[in-house]
Amino acid sequence: MNQQLQTINPTIKAAAVFCCVVMLSFIYNPYTPACFYVIIVVGVLSAARISLKKWLLFTIPFLILAAGCMWTAAVFGKVPTTADNLLFEAGPFEINRENALVGISLGFRILCFSALSMMFIFTTDPILFMLSLVQQCRLSPKLAYGIIAGFRFLPLLKDEVQIIQQAHKIRGGASENGLKEKLASMKRYTIPLLASAIRKAERTAIAMESKGFTGSRNRTYYRTLTVAPRDWLFFLLVLLLFSVSFFISLCFS
Amino acid sequence: MKSWKVREIVVMSVISVVFAVIYLLFTHFGNVLAGFFGPMGYEPIYGIWFIVSIIAAYIIRKPGAALISETIAAFVECLLGNPSGPMVIVVGLVQGLGAEAVFLAARWRVYSLPILLLAGMGSSVTSFIYDLFVAGYAALSPGYLLLMLTIRLFSGALLAGLLGKVISDSLAYTGVLNGMALGKELKKKRKQVSQHAGF
Amino acid sequence: MQDSNELLSIDRLTFSYEEDEKPIFKDLSFQIQKGERALLLGPSGCGKSSLALCINGLYPEACDAAQTGRISLFQKNIEDFQAAEKPSLHIGVVFQDPDQQFCMLTVEDEIAFGLENLQMPKEEMKERIDDVLVKLDLTGLKGQTISALSGGTKQKVALACILAMEPDLIILDEPTSLLDPHSARSFVHMIKELQEEKGFGLLVIEHQLDEWAPWVERTIVLDASGQKVMDGETPDIFQFRSEELKKIGVAIPHVAAMQENLNVPFTLSKEMLFTQPFPAFEEGKNLPLTEDVLEVNGLSFSRGQRAIFSDISFSLRAGSLTAVVGPNGTGKSTLLSVLARLYKPKSGEIRLFGKPLHSFSENELRRQMGFVFQNPEHQFVADTVFGELVFGHKHQKDAAEKAHDLLRRFGLDHVLTHHPFALSQGQKRRLSVATMMMHDLKILLLDEPTFGQDAKTAAECMELIESIQAAGTAVLMITHDMELVSAFADNVLVLHDTKLVYQGAPAPLFSEQNEIVQQAKLAWPLQYEWLHHKQQEEHHEPAITNH
Ligand SMILES: Nc1ncnc2c1ncn2[C@@H]1O[C@H](COP(=O)(O)OP(=O)(O)OP(=O)(O)O)[C@@H](O)[C@H]1O
Ligand SMILES: Nc1ncnc2c1ncn2[C@@H]1O[C@H](COP(=O)(O)OP(=O)(O)OP(=O)(O)O)[C@@H](O)[C@H]1O
Ligand SMILES: [Mg+2]
Ligand SMILES: [Mg+2]
């Protein structure tokens, strides 16, 4: 079972995630997203080799976000509070049953989104995703390879900031100790950082063209990506799991 | 994509990558705010997430620049680990559409400050419509929603439109954009000024 | 049409970056035949790299420059080439800056990228990639991320990408300027073997000619204004026109220079020179008897788990010139960064004027200590060349005057309004050194200050370094140029395998410590190589007569 998810065609994987997200957007009961969340987490952790620690670490920011959404929807929900549905009062706010349920639903919706996206990110090579978009969705190679070239810049970004920092040090720039000075230096770094990024981009473009790149569709691929029956199987499986959680929720309400 | 040069695409994509990182930082920052204040926490800083479309369109001046750059930034943000995953690509697409619509209305010819401010607000509108449905804002009360929208419009105009122009202009001043439309325009302006000075 | 062997023909080519500026090169014409090998020489900033990009068909389009004249490939104007059959598929360029030539993440994908553009079927691609990796001895790096490779290895990967595409002409733009002497030598030998096997045309742009001159038959020389001033057989040019070359600023091979000084018959090969009687040479320099300004005690540094250097101790004396040498990737630049307080050492102590380095305030430290990065672009902070020099000196009265003087000495006075990034590679290097000459420093740390320089500017640079040395500044300089070490340094530090394996005067290193020289991938300066050659002959001759 290990590494199974990693070999699914990236476009199909993205499409499956996309379908789930769209369907989730129409659901305001708390049971479906809650069920679905449990299913995804169990499924992903068993079908892809992702450590539990990593998963939890990445989930933390979403928990905060989910809590925020839950809170807002519960307090500012549009169902007016009546004597019937009043749950409890928190200071100046009155919280009623309907709004609270919607809040919980939104919270779990966000957790589902996060779980789906983590499933996608942890198991997909971005370059292969781009190539798959070119090969399966007829994305223009000019654009796709342009993006890949830009993507190459990502790991260099940290070094780039460090280099600018060092240059300012060496050339007698001010020392940055206080928070205020740090903020001021942020401003001083943005423009040089962007400028050097653009310069590198132009060089990369020259390198691409010097290797005969024209952006036309007439090219072969070293990494060919195909859609096999098992990819569709995966797609159907995801939809099936969603329907299962939907029917479970029907039993609850 | 025919009229685009490889160089322009790579430059646009690199700018998008740089801002994707900034976007993600702001996403985490916004999440903390939202944790305290609910979705309202996002609104004052919402404009920052449109800035790439303004910068790319203003620098490159080709149809599609706003839309595509915003989508790439969202794509990279998704790869870096944005909460909403691949959905953020759709968000980016929607935001880019808002700005692109304004540039389209100007026939991709005018890139003055008012147009840039409007483009930022365009993104505010489309992204709000999206949130209304997908993020479930529709469940919130109308008065609260109106307040959110107003703040977002301001944020879009200032943090995206105005700040985007300021950043692009200072970039053009360093000379890195000499090969791009904005840099060429600046060069032409300088030439005219020096000619006037000569006569 | 008479000459069907013609590969490339350049006809009255004129090129300028800005329409109303003086052209970089003007009315340039020459031809290259199929399978021909040629050297393209010229002073730094004369337009060699720009020419390479023009030939490749990338300029003028990529930079909105103005170009007139005609470049044809196989007697067909390169502008007439269709998108599907770009000139860049026939001409491969290995660029001067190793960070400038990649667009994919891994070695394998990068090589494949060119082949995909050639529309090669997948199976064939795999074969080609494996072939070329074996040929360049890079097999272990197939899946490696390119950005994590050292400068020299990147250059090799760039060559692999070009070779896999099997172009008809390969242009190498200073391919060895960042390599240690041993790697540089093996790189040239590898190119030689490949060229002889495959028979592609070869155009080499270089400032260090010793390895190339013996086997690249033809030489084309441009002068500072971009005019072609010589074009002919390599030996003829170095034999009969060396005076002119010196005037233009172009280096001549050390063998030829030495032969001239000693008045022995002309040759470009060391073996021929070494058959002459061994002359008397002057000894190297000795340390000045001044006090120490910087002391380093038991210094260690590591990146993650990997130790870069450990337990290093040495000191720098006022007015001395210390050279740091060692193989690529051994940690020389890292050592300098630690000394400049850009990185924190893992352990050990650095004392400046007897006080710990960390006790100095940032401003105080930078007033005393200058630093020149290995990559000149890393230290540029201003928008113009002139602004770069006066950065941080606005209040000084004579700053502008001093800046103009430095620019003149470094041959940068005609580009003073340029953006620092819009300079040639050698000009960037000189600018970065010049910015540090603006201060009155007590310590100057230089990371390869002379790479990519022609003979004249390199000499000018060394002269300036000697003059600040005379004023009492302690200079620490990383270099791969052993001739420079033996001529100028009074102290050498050899860094190898995390240890300082030698410190002391250069003469004993080169005459006695053969094992260290070999291990640390150094080379002997010509006079010492000659000395060893003689000694070996003396040892061998009785052995031969015994048989
Ligand atoms: N992008 C650019 N824009 C404007 N001018 C440039 C640009 N790049 C180089 N130049 C100028 O063009 C001239 C030729 O530069 P080029 O890089 O071709 O020199 P080079 O002969 O390769 O020198 P080196 O030996 O130092 O590498 C230089 O004077 C340089 O200042
Ligand atoms: N930013 C970095 N991140 C990770 N490793 C690095 C980084 N910079 C350098 N290294 C590694 O540290 C080691 C020392 O690098 P350093 O640049 O100091 O070598 P060097 O002796 O200056 O080599 P060269 O002669 O090629 O300039 C190298 O093996 C290199 O791979
Ligand atoms: Mg050059
Ligand atoms: Mg180094």
Hey, which residues does C39 pair with through a beta bridge?
C204, C219
Contact partners for chain B, using 3 or more CB pairs closer than 8 A, are A, C
The predicted structure's pLDDT at residue C236: 93
Evaluate whether residue C277 is within a structural domain.
no
Q: Residues of chain B with pLDDT > 70: what percent? A: 96
Looking at the structure, do residues C325 and C445 belong to the same domain, yes or no?
yes
ipTM: 0.88
Looking at the structure, do residues C396 and C463 belong to the same domain, yes or no?
yes
Task: Pull the structure tokens for residue A10.
Answer: 């990236």
Residue C460 lies in domain: 292-538
Indicate which of A194, A210, A211 best probes the interface with B, i.e. most B CBs within 10 Å of its own CB. Answer: A194
Q: Locate tokens 């953020």: which residue? A: B88
Evaluate whether residue C27 is within a structural domain.
yes
Contact status of A175 with chain C (Cβ, < 8 Å): yes
Domain-ending residue, one of C199, C214, C237:
C237
Hey, which residues does A121 pair with through a beta bridge?
none
Q: Name the residue of chain A whose CA is nearest to C128's CA.
A: A222
Domain-ending residue, one of C191, C213, C237:
C237
Q: Please give the Cα distance from C102 to C157 (Å, whole number).
A: 9
The predicted structure's pLDDT at residue A173: 60
Q: Please give the Cα distance from C116 to A207 (Å, whole number).
A: 15
Q: Measured in angstroms, how far is the CA atom of residue C158 from the centroid of ligand 3?
A: 16
Specify whether the backbone of B145 is left (phi greater than 0), alpha (psi in -120 to 50) or beta.
Answer: alpha
Q: Establish whether residue C479 lines the binding site of ligand 2, counting it when its CB lies within 6 angstroms of any ligand atom.
A: no
Q: How many domains does chain C have?
A: 2
Q: Please give the Cα distance from C452 to C526 (Å, whole number).
A: 20
The predicted structure's pLDDT at residue C165: 92
CA distance C417 to chain B (A): 11
The amino acid that residue C182 corresponds to is H
Domains and CATH numbers, chain B: 6-197 (1.10.1760)
Hey, which residues does C67 pair with through a beta bridge?
C15
Domain ranges of chain A: 5-124+227-252, 139-210
CA distance B67 to chain A (A): 13
Looking at the structure, do residues C181 and C308 belong to the same domain, yes or no?
no
Looking at the structure, do residues C91 and C202 belong to the same domain, yes or no?
yes
Hey, which residues does C300 pair with through a beta bridge?
C347
Looking at the structure, do residues C217 and C359 belong to the same domain, yes or no?
no
Looking at the structure, do residues C477 and C356 belong to the same domain, yes or no?
yes
Residue C353, CA atoms < 13 Å, CB-side half-sphere: 10
The predicted-structure confidence for A98-132, as pLDDT tens digits, reads as follows 888 888 888 898 889 888 888 888 888 888 999 99
The predicted structure's pLDDT at residue A86: 76
**Element (H or E) spanning C11, and its range?**
strand C6-16
Nearest ligand 2 atom to the CA of C374 is 27
Hey, which residues does C481 pair with through a beta bridge?
none
**Long-range CB contacts (< 8 A, 24+ apart) of A168-171?**
A168/C381, A169/C342, A169/C362, A169/C366, A170/C340, A170/C342, A170/C366, A170/C370, A170/C371, A170/C373, A170/C379, A171/C366, A171/C379, A171/C381, A171/C391, A171/C392, A171/C435
Contact partners for chain C, using 3 or more CB pairs closer than 8 A, are A, B
Nearest ligand 2 atom to the CA of C331 is 18
Length of chain B: 199
C60 preceded by a cis bond (ω within 30 of 0): yes
Stretch 105-144 of chain A: residues touching chain B, C-beta under 8 Å: 105-106, 109-110, 113-114, 116-118, 120-121, 126, 140, 142-143
Pick the closest to residue C301 from C516, C447, C499 (CA basis): C499
Rounded to the nearest 10 degrees, the angle between the axes of helix A52-76 and helix A31-47 is 170
Evaluate whether residue C341 is within a structural domain.
yes
Q: Locate tokens 């700018």: which residue? A: B15
Q: Establish whether residue C427 lines the binding site of ligand 2, counting it when its CB lies within 6 angstroms of any ligand atom.
A: no
Hey, which residues does C297 pair with through a beta bridge?
C349
- Chain C residues closer than 8 Å to B175 by CB: 383, 419, 421-422
Q: Measured in angstroms, how far is the CA atom of residue C47 from the centroid of ligand 1?
A: 5
The predicted-structure confidence for A221-250, as pLDDT tens digits, reads as follows 999 999 999 999 999 999 999 999 989 888
Rounded to the nearest 10 degrees, the angle between the axes of helix B163-174 and helix A179-210 is 60
A11 burial class (0-12, 13-18, 19+ CB within 10 angstroms)?
Answer: buried
Task: Pull the structure tokens for residue C125.
Answer: 């691609």
The predicted structure's pLDDT at residue C290: 85
Indicate which of B7, B9, B194 best probes the interface with C, i.e. most C CBs within 10 Å of its own CB. Answer: B7
Q: Which ligand is nearest to the CA of C373?
A: 4
Q: Please give the Cα distance from C447 to C127 (Å, whole number).
A: 40
The predicted structure's pLDDT at residue A190: 85
The predicted structure's pLDDT at residue C545: 41
Q: Provide DSSP, A27-69.
A: ---SHHHHHHHHHHHHHHHHHS---HHHHHHHHHHHHHHHHHH
**Distances from the Cα of A155 to the Cα of A107, A152, A158, C105, C145, angstroms:** 33, 7, 7, 10, 11
Contact A67 B141 (CB under 8 A): no
Contact B7 A206 (CB under 8 A): yes
pLDDT tens sequence for chain C (547 residues): 455 788 999 999 999 988 778 899 889 999 999 999 999 999 999 999 999 999 988 888 777 788 899 998 888 888 777 666 777 788 999 988 877 789 888 999 999 999 999 999 999 999 999 999 998 888 989 999 988 887 778 888 999 999 999 999 999 999 888 889 998 998 999 999 999 999 999 999 999 999 999 999 999 999 999 899 999 999 999 999 999 999 999 988 999 888 888 888 888 888 888 888 888 777 767 778 888 999 999 999 998 889 999 999 999 999 999 999 999 889 999 999 999 999 999 999 999 999 999 999 888 899 899 999 988 888 888 888 998 998 877 777 888 899 999 999 888 999 988 888 889 989 999 999 999 988 889 999 999 999 889 999 999 899 999 999 999 999 999 999 999 999 999 999 999 999 999 999 999 999 999 999 999 999 999 989 998 988 888 876 554 444 4
Confidence of residue B197 (pLDDT cuts 50, 70, 90): low
Task: Pull the structure tokens for residue A62.
Answer: 């979403």
Taking residues A168-196, what's their average pLDDT?
A: 73
The predicted structure's pLDDT at residue C9: 92
Evaluate whether residue C327 is within a structural domain.
yes
Q: Using a CB cutoff of 5 Å, list residues around ligand 4, an ion.
A: C 333, 374
Three-class SS state of A200: helix
Q: Please give the Cα distance from C336 to C447 (Å, whole number).
A: 8
Pick the closest to residue C322 from C474, C447, C470, C482 (CA basis): C474
Q: Measured in angstroms, how far is the CA atom of residue C427 from the centroid of ligand 3?
A: 9
Q: Provide DSSP, A236-251.
A: HHHHHHHHHHHHHHHH
Read off the CATH number of the domain in which C36 is found. Answer: 3.40.50.300
Hey, which residues does C30 pair with through a beta bridge?
C10
Evaluate whether residue C264 is within a structural domain.
no
Q: Provide DSSP, chain B.
A: -TT--HHHHHHHHHHHHHHHHHHHHHHHHHHHHHHHHGGGGTGGGGGGGGHHHHHHHHHH--TTHHHHHHHHHHHHHHHHT-TTTTHHHHHHHHHHHHHHHHHHHTTTT---HHHHHHHHHHHHHHHHHHHHHTS-GGGB-HHHHHHHHHHHHHHIIIIIIIHHHHHHHHHHHHTTTTTSHHHHHHHHHHHHHHHHHH-
The predicted-structure confidence for A42-64, as pLDDT tens digits, reads as follows 888 888 777 888 888 888 877 88
**Element (H or E) spanning A206, and its range?**
helix A179-210
The predicted structure's pLDDT at residue C238: 93
Q: Locate tokens 């001083």: which residue? A: A188
Q: Please give the Cα distance from C450 to C432 (Å, whole number).
A: 11
Hey, which residues does C106 pair with through a beta bridge?
C145
The predicted structure's pLDDT at residue C362: 87
Contact B174 C63 (CB under 8 A): no
A79 burial class (0-12, 13-18, 19+ CB within 10 angstroms)?
Answer: middle
- pTM for this predicted structure: 0.88
**Distances from the Cα of A101 to the Cα of A24, C349, C377, angstroms:** 15, 63, 58
Helix and strand counts by DSSP (H, E) for chain A:
9, 2
Q: Provide DSSP, C101-167.
A: S--SSBHHHHHHHHHHHTT--HHHHHHHHHHHHHHTT-GGGTT-BGGGS-HHHHHHHHHHHHHHT--
Looking at the structure, do residues C478 and C387 belong to the same domain, yes or no?
yes
Taking residues B157-163, what's their average pLDDT?
A: 95
**Distances from the Cα of C347 to the Cα of A11, B156, C494, angstroms:** 50, 50, 20
Q: Please give the Cα distance from C199 to C202 (Å, whole number).
A: 9
Q: Please give the Cα distance from C89 to A214 (Å, whole number).
A: 11
Ligand 1 pocket by Cβ (under 6 Å) = C 17, 24, 42, 44-50, 63, 96, 415, 418, 422-427, 452
Pick the closest to residue C108 from A7, A126, A223, A208 (CA basis): A223
Contact partners for chain A, using 3 or more CB pairs closer than 8 A, are B, C
Domain-ending residue, one of C237, C252, C283:
C237
Evaluate whether residue C391 is within a structural domain.
yes
Sheet with C474-478, side-by-side order of all strands = C369-372, C443-447, C474-478, C321-325, C491-496, C499-504
Q: Establish whether residue C378 lines the binding site of ligand 2, counting it when its CB lies within 6 angstroms of any ligand atom.
A: no
Contact B136 A25 (CB under 8 A): yes
Helix and strand counts by DSSP (H, E) for chain C:
19, 20
**Distances from the Cα of A121 to the Cα of B130, C226, C515, C545, angstroms:** 23, 53, 52, 74
Looking at the structure, do residues C218 and C298 belong to the same domain, yes or no?
no
Q: Please give the Cα distance from C329 to C495 (Å, whole number).
A: 10
